[in-house]
Structure 1
């Protein structure tokens, strides 16, 4: 029980709670709302359901300079006392609460003023729409005296709760009669002295149960109970279970009363804010903000930031190597044999022209490489491998070959991952594996020549740090496996490039996995021509949940079911500079621990590792790619975007045309905004004249290229795992608020006749997802509908010819998630 000088509005977003205000008790359910006036004694307690509450406290003094009477008002505002047809006034309060949360989350410029305005509108609405009474000055003085006395009583009880304390003792301390004190407590707290004492002792009991390893007997006496019997009886009455049962269900660590600690038992953590599924709750809250996206857009229509960029193109500039063109990726080898896949890839190569392509499963069963005769002899079948590698040669791209997964014929276990069941076990005999690697490389050399194969990359396995999902046996077993594989590669030719360990960014930040691997290679002279890592901008809200899934995988639960559970886990996102920071961290470890220089390749990279993340289809991805690629110049040898196409089957093929797949191109061959990020990057020159936050200017001979963008990142709610504002049709409410950019471009030292081509990519031009929304979100589209979208899925292009005399000036207006590319091409 407590009170305070603020008014408090409580809205139940999820579950149920008990609330006591004075002598009254209420059960609040989802969407119920209550206003607790200042200095009203109250408390909240949970029911058996998980709950989530939105609580707003406002000091009435906040309004005193505008409306002094507000400080004396007592409101009657309890939504649960009225039926559904009488909720309109309460819905307006919910609207103001939602708007405050929204603005606090978005933090756009001046959001504090907007929140202040909402608080004033809320107060005005209460004054004009809800019954209220006024506290007279004399009564206010009397109430304040009672509050001071009540505070003194409660403080005394709280300080002495651990020993036997009586009402007479408190009465003597306050110089009151026991009779008066008893009635005073009941009147002001809504409960008797003994009830309050029992409540605070139970509160302490629960805290000790959840956060200590003390026995029930120890907890009983420390909380002030006369015996464990009295604790058990009261606990059972309130929580409908014993203290031991409660600890087992909710405690941090399971202990029994004899402290018999079983380290191998499941360790259960009490649930945190992020463990609660908030999606439905916030979706309900934000439903009171109808038309918010349009409202935000309207408010920002005339909001711009202004920049001036002035350069002299006679400057020599700095050589720039387009490292991002080095590598592109796709899911598994056999998918590259499909006609639809190849059609998409040929468009990609014609438009952009990558150097290498990385993929899974060159040795998996669907490639049919490893075979045994009836006599038990090994027979290698390279027909599918040849067909794939021949195709790569035809379209002018080299393979970046991940050596994996394990053929069934030499597996040691039946553990698999993905819908197509890639075997993740070690070989039952390492020589069977190394012989396969050697024979594979020899075959490639015989077919394509030694000099060609020496330009390829061979990466050993995929994400061995995710034990029991992509590798079984621990990191030490992987180190030995890597060593054997690397020497098998080098046994054919020492000039062949081999590397690894192909681990995730989390292994870099949360453990010494990378350091241990580098030390092992350095100490044992193991070949390591390149280090490969994977970077995604997200993690998981509960490390305990991750550990639980890993443990269950180790104990033999279905890999398919656990992988589905893994992918559905709530995600939290790292900051805007996560890719850049991870690369710097990796480089620091490599330079510190290796005695020689080696290449660094990011063989998987995306904003999310979830193949159904709806952000993948949006304009956000285009600025995400460009911002990170340009920021990471000179600190990495390649960044391979995962993946170029939505044609992939790790978790079966996506059903909707815009299901949030990784690809730059969707299943139907429609190019997403992310595709054009690479298309724009491919048009940059080989020398950088100037680069800064959100722009780069390059040149090639006398041709000039100007790339300007407006990148905004996730808002606080989305960063912390809340996806309630992300739906199939509305995917732009999860970002920070940011203004349109007005950029003035001043180019000096440019003369002659120029063709100036301007490309605009934003939600209005070139975003096939946004066009699909305008079209009505059709599923199972006809060819006519696909053709229509293909025509719309292209940036806006305008062309003009100018005779320039030492100077060129232009203004660009770039909306959020927008990109503009200008190419100035010298003509004779």
Structure 2
């Protein structure tokens, strides 16, 4: 973590190996977790959590693990930075070791820790001018060291002698590192360096704190451990390759260092990783700066930001920027047609959940206030819907009772089904593979004819109940994310393509006007494979007309490249769910939704001679249930930014999901557990809900649009919607979630100032009602109000009623007589949204 233009480099790492080195930088090592041995010259120190040590320029030092795991932060400072203002600093040798001081000195070391934490924080956020802030902290560290810690001034002659010693010890250690596999001896080196044997023995111990033989043994052990992890060589061969004189000496030294035999070490390693030697070689690098749990590391580090010396204003992100955006438009502009495409699809978990009273109450309210056109969901054919039955005589009997209850309710609240045809009824399954807590079977059918008969009977029943013209307005999506083999589809890509073909032909045999589509794959698959091209090509080759292409888009996706598919095949659904959060997540940039849609549109143009609809049937600010960001104001700006950015690129953006009442991982315990929903399980409306609420108030003509605003018109009314979207910071994008906790959920974003926008709407006259809606952390964020309330769980009716009343957007209403111009300046904070409606009075 650093920048070539800065005088510092911050490195978070885990120490598993051993390496003597030195450099011309000052290095401060802070232990964030566990413990480590740090040697400086001939001294060896045990550092435990929160301990820090300063290593001066050109001091020979090493870090070495203890029996504990460890996470260290190393801050390297170029002393040349101080030359221009305090040249004497380059001659100072400091004694700064927190573990050698009494508790009364802890405050001094806390100040150093505070400066380090702020440097890392600033490096992460990279606000405009961050280099200046880091430079100021480096100066503060220098000043604090001079005034609070003992130091010696090193004379030029002493420095010259030290430089000669460094060259000599460097030659010796390099020789050992290059020849450890041979039978090298101290006498051999003394002759090579033309030094007295006894002098050399004392010289080595004085400089590195251990004997020549001890150092040689450590180098050999390091090599042996690397081979144990990354090769399938025999223990005997590894001992020989590493230079040990015998297998007995290898076993003895290994057991002394690691408290187990080499074979036991390897056995534990293999059982804990379930990886091939090749896989371990790629994922495990002993002693590198990458082998570390960054989440735990940053959580330990950032606690020092909250020391009493910090002031609230130091972390204030609400300061306005210097730039004011000026927007001037003609109110008489007729504009371009704006279809509220984002209202086309909303989603929920699985079909049976839609039969419950609390679910139906929430959907009824959503439809009353916003009103979506279609609703998409999993599991219409699951056993719990009780559709597919075998009589005692062995005949198939269909029971449509629950389907009718669900679809009748949809009709009652004026929403149509967007039906994902899944999962496999147990009577038709070919394997036992399942997914989610409710065990949806993901296998291909044991007999494709039985499956297609089920599909046809289902659609015929719907036509008989609701009419052909109505059902022809519905959508039928074939399966869910089939590219995730053994997560959502226990078959191959080719099997899915065949499955899709026969399902489509079955539906079209009833009516050519029925809408069928797929393949419901994720954006990660689209970006990294040829799956979509292969699917489109297959449809072309088999005369399959695609009514729509469906896909899922999230800001991150799971990489299955390093996953052993055979292991997935052996896992039950619960094991797969437990494994999923541990898989590698690839984060994309903030324009991922639009960029993915552009790629899909281009692929359609390349592969097809017609243009099917594009329906995004799953879309959210995260693909992971329980991600705490789902409850925050961030999601409101995320929704509005992406919906406005993607106008014209897709037919729909189906938000996943409208409610937290879903059970893929069991129902969340906390009221704010990071569920996907626009409403939480008690029906409290999150900021994401109000994002859609404000969008629903926009007009049907766009008269102006920019990066962070849109101005629409309906008849003689004008709507101005502005937002301040702030994306994740670099650490979070690289997988670090340490700053995201149950109660603190806003430290993972870039820091951006309040956005100031001045609007001027010209050529409008008359009397107007002006209504302003402000949606931000202060107004309309039920999570933030819940935190203010004390974050109670298992809330009473009184507490829920209180939050319902407090967590709404702020509304301001006024009346104005306009005489040719409406002018207003708004200040939108980070994650905030503001809507102004100018409604002309008769």
TM over 0.5: yes
When structure 1 is superposed on structure 2, of 183-192 and 710-719 the one drifting more is 183-192
2:41 aligned residue (22, 47, 66): 22
Partner residue of 2:631 out of 600, 612, 617:
617
- Residues 478 and 715 from structure 1, CA distance in 2 versus in 1: closer, same or farther, beyond 3 angstroms? same
> For residues 273 and 478 of structure 1, do their structure 2 counterparts lie closer, same or farther at Cα, with a shift above 3 Å needed?
farther
Give the corresponding residue for 2:760: 746
CA 268–36 in structure 1, closer or farther in 2 if over 3 Å, else same:
closer
Distance 1:349 1:672, change over 3 A: same
Map of 1:306-705 to 2, 5 A cutoff? Answer: 306-540=324-558, 544=562, 547-548=563-564, 550-555=565-570, 557-567=571-581, 571=585, 573-705=587-719
Structure 2 vs 1, CA of residues 268 and 115 (structure 1 numbering), >3 Å: closer, same or farther? closer
Instruction: Give SS of 1:737's match.
Output: coil
Shift of 1:151: 3.3
Aligned to 2:11: none
Indicate whether 1:728 and 2:747 are aligned. no
- 1:638-667 deviations in Å (ceiling 9; x for gaps): 110000111111122122211111111111
Partner secondary structure for residue 87 of structure 1? helix
Aligned partner of residue 287 in structure 1, secondary structure? helix
2: CA distance between counterparts of 1:691 and 1:210? 57
Question: Equivalent residue for 2:143?
Answer: 124
Aligned 1:171-210 pairs, distance under 5 A: 171=190, 174-207=193-226, 210=229
Of the three residues 72, 78, 88, the one matched with 1:69 is 88
- Provide Cα deviations, 1:71-115, integer angstroms capped at 9, x if missing partner: 222222222335666533222222222111111111122222222
CA distance in 1, matches of 2:427, 2:737: 43
Q: Which string of whole-angstrom CA distances, capped at 9 and with x for unpartnered residues, describes residues 290-314 of structure 1?
A: 1779444536435454211122233
Aligned-CA RMSD value: 3.0
List runs of 5+ in structure 1 lacking aligned partners.
none
Give the secondary-structure state (helix, strand or coil) at the position aligned to 2:557. strand
CA distance in 2, matches of 1:262, 1:759: 59
Consecutive unaligned residues in structure 2, runs of 5 or more: 1-19
Most deviating of 1-10 and 174-183: 174-183
| SS of equivalent to 2:306 | coil
- Distance in 1, matches of 2:459 and 2:109, equals 71
Distance 1:42 1:431 in 2: 72
- Following the alignment from structure 2 to structure 1, what is the Cα–Cα distance between the partners of residues 674 and 311? 21
- The answer to whether structure 1 residue 2 and structure 2 residue 21 are counterparts is yes
Structure 1 counterpart SS, 2:483: coil
Instruction: Determine the structure 2 residue equivalent to 1:90.
Output: 109
How has the CA–CA distance of structure 1 residues 482 and 93 changed in structure 2, closer, same or farther, with 3 Å as cutoff?
Answer: same
The counterpart of 2:779, out of the listed 765, 768, 776, is: 765
Residues matched between the structures, number: 819
Moved more, 726-735 or 163-172: 163-172
Q: Distance in 2 between matches of 1:760 and 1:790?
A: 16
The aligned counterpart of 2:799 is 785
Q: Distance in 2 between matches of 1:93 and 1:542?
A: 42
How has the CA–CA distance of structure 1 residues 782 and 379 changed in structure 2, closer, same or farther, with 3 Å as cutoff?
same
What do the CA deviations read for 1:193-250 (whole angstroms, capped 9, x no partner)?
A: 4444444454455555555677778766766666777666655554455666656665
Deviations 1:170-202 (A, max 9, x none): 445544444433333332222334444444454
Matched, 1:774 2:792: no
The equivalent of 2:732 in structure 1 is: 718
Q: CA deviation at 1:276?
A: 4.3
User: What is the SS of the residue equivalent to 2:316?
Assistant: helix
Match of 2:9 in 1: none
3-state DSSP class of the match of 2:205?
Answer: helix
In structure 1, what is the Cα distance between the partners aligned to 2:311 and 2:361? 37
The Cα shift of 1:585 comes to 2.1
- Equivalent residue, structure 1, for 2:99: 80
| 2:768–2:841 CA contact under 8 A, matched in 1 | yes
Mark the CA change 1:613 to 1:597 in structure 2 (over 3 Å): closer, same or farther: same
Q: 2:34 matched to 1:34?
A: no
**How far did 1:460 drift?**
0.8
Q: Give the match for residue 284 of structure 1.
A: 300
- Which whole-Å CA distance do the structure 2 matches of 1:773 and 1:401 have between them? 38
Q: 1:280 offset after TM fit, Å?
A: 3.4
Corresponding residue to 1:270 among 259, 284, 296: 284
- d(CA) in 2 for partners of 1:355 and 1:580? 22
**1:398-421 CA distance string (max 9 Å, x none):** 110011112222223333222222
Preserved contact between residue 761 and residue 822 of structure 2 (Cα < 8 Å): yes
1:566–1:84 distance in 2 versus 1, CA, 3 Å: farther
> What is the TM-score of this pair, normalised by structure 2?
0.91
Deviations 1:419-447 (CA, angstroms, capped at 9, x unpaired): 22222222222222111110110111111
Q: Is the 8 A contact 1:420 1:650 kept in 2?
A: yes
Work out the CA distance in 2 between the residues paired with 1:75 and 1:708. 54
* Distance in 2, Cα, partners of 1:30 & 1:418: 39
Task: Return 349-358 or 570-579, whichever deviates more.
Answer: 570-579
